Every structure is written in structure tokens, then in C-alpha cells.
Amino acid sequence: MQADQLNERTEIVRRFNRFYTRQIGVLHEHLLDSAFSLTEVRILYELAHQAQLTSADLCRELGLNAGYLSRVIAGFEKQGLIAKTRSPTDARAVQLQLTEQGQRTLAPLVDASRREVAAMLERLPPTAQQELVNAMGQIQGLLGEPSPSYLLRNPQPGDMGWIIHRQAMLYAQEYGWNNEYEALVAEILAKFVREFDPARERCWIAEKDGKIIGSIFIVRQDDTTAKLRLLYVDPCARGLGIGSRLVDECLRFSRQAGYTKMVLWTNSILTDARRIYDKAGFQLVEEEAHHSFGKDLVGQVLARDL
């Protein structure tokens, strides 16, 4: 009886796989009518969103055969999509990174993929969309992969006030900052709302089960430079990868908007945020001690090219 049940469930899973692959279009010979397979695009995507990856890292992250990956990397290098550099810490290791041409090649594929999924979701009412996302999270969790089970959305009325409130509370509770920080956040968001340029600025709200659990902003510093501001992840949602996802969205949007550089200001005490920025390829360009928010702090300016 158990064998019969297992066989029946196996067929249900296989039937679902066939259904879902038809939905997302991955049965096409080339992804999104491009010259690349799904696996090749996954490799490009990982290189775009993680700094200092080696071929061994990619094999481990994506479960790829080393020989197959070596052939793909050679092809990408020949097309000018990736560049190789020696690791500064291990002369035997070669790090891979996307070239500007590689970034330009990947960007429309990512956007096309997002549009396809968005079009699929738009056929459903909002409640059904959330049910679908929750069901996907359950599948990931049952199969052993922690699922973020959250969505990113545009800000709605009331969100800015919520962000001011939560930022002020969090930094008071965790770092003892006073209401000078609350005033700073309020000033930043008032300027964002009053002078908002949708072509060059953006806010993302992370939401889980109807509750806001994160947010981030991109604002224009000058014609070529985007500024990342006010990364926030609620304590209840830490460990889900939300911070990295929000930073990735900022990088993607800023490249699309025509920026060539991104900067941000943080403080050395914010070590969790700094790890996210380091992973995303930001580097320290300036550091200065200051007294703000009732504390002696070390401010840091980080930057990276896009």
C-alpha cells in the first residue's frame, strides 16, 4: 500500500513539474528567445550578484559539473561577457566577474523574466497571488530550503510614516541612538516624497504575511551616481536574505536607470549591514569619526561601480 501511495504521489509531483515548467517557459531551447540556456543565464546572474566568485563557488552554488562549467566560462570569456582576475588572497584561485558587456547582456534577460512572471501573477487577484507565494514557500521549506516567503512591492500611503517609526525604534533599542536619528530619517523621506523622480529613484517595501519587514531607497546623488539609503530589515525577518535581495534590486534598478556608480553612508557599528554591502561588491572609500544621535560613531562611505 505504501509503495502504491508513493508511486501516486511521484506522478502528482511530476505532473506539477510539467505544468509549472510550461507556465514559466523554461522548456524553450533558449531562455526568453535569447542565445542562452537557462543554466547559462543562472551563471551570469550569480556573477552579477555575488562578488569574488570562483568556478568552484559556482559549481557548489548551482550544482554544476566542473567540466561543463569550464566550457561555459570559456565561451563567455570569448564573447567578452566575463573577465578573470587572480584572487588577492590565493594566487591559485581565479575570480570571475561580469564585464560591462556582460551586465548589458544580462539586464534585458532579467527584466524579461520579471515581466513574464508578473504577467502570470497579474491574472490572479491579490489574495490568490499571496496564496501562491505562500504555497511556493511551503514547497521550498518541505524540501529543505528555507523560503523567504515574502514579496517586494512599491510603497503605499502610510508606509513612509511606518519606516520612520520602525527605524527610530530599532536603532534606539539596538544601539541607543536618540531622536536625532528619527529626525534625519524623517527629513530624508520628506525629501524623497516631495522631489521623487520615478525614472531615477525608487523605494522597495518587503512584506510578509501582510506585515512590513524591510525597506530600502535609491535616490539621485548626481547624473551618474545613485545613492542607497535607509536599508532596514525587521529583527523578526533576519536570516531570510531580505537585506541582500533589497540591495540587489537597487543595483539592478540603478544600472537600468543609467547610473554608473552607487554610493552609501553607514556606520562601522552596523556590522550586519556592512556584511551585506561587502558581499554586494561595495568598498570603503572614506571613514570619519563623528558624534551623532547621542553617540560617538565612525561614519563610512562605501561605493562600487555599476
* Range of weakest confidence among 5-9, 88-92, 99-103, 125-129: 88-92
Greatest C-alpha distance within the chain: 71
Helix (H, G, I), strand (E, B) or coil at 51: coil
Name the more confident of 62 and 87.
Answer: 62
Q: What's the CATH code of the domain at 194?
A: 3.40.630.30
Which one, of 31, 34, 32, 87, lies nearest residue 56 by Cα?
87
pLDDT in tens, 63-111: 888 888 889 999 999 999 998 888 776 667 788 888 889 888 888 888 8
Read off the pLDDT band of 27 (50, 70, 90).
very low
The pTM for the full model equals 0.57
In a domain, 125, yes or no: no
Pairwise CA distance, residues 250 & 96, whole Å: 22
Give the per-residue pLDDT at 145.
61
Predicted confidence (pLDDT) per residue in 158-196, tens digit: 999 999 999 999 999 999 999 999 999 999 999 999 999
Mean pLDDT, to the nearest integer, of 285-289?
96
Structural domain count, the chain: 2
Domain membership of residue 280 (yes or no) is yes
Domain with 281 in it:
148-305
Exposed, middle or buried by CB within 10 Å (0-12, 13-18, 19+), for 48? buried
| The domain boundary residue, chosen from 65, 85, 112 | 112
**Who's near 158: CB < 8 A, 6+ residues apart?**
none
The pLDDT of 274-292, averaged and rounded, is: 95
Give mean pLDDT, residues 116-128: 82
Is residue 100, in this structure, part of any structural domain at all? Answer: yes
Asked whether residue 204 carries a pLDDT value surpassing 80, the answer given is yes
pLDDT of res. 29: 45
Domain boundary among 96, 112, 128: 112
Using CA atoms, how far residue 100 sits from 161, 168, 306, in Å, is 38, 39, 8
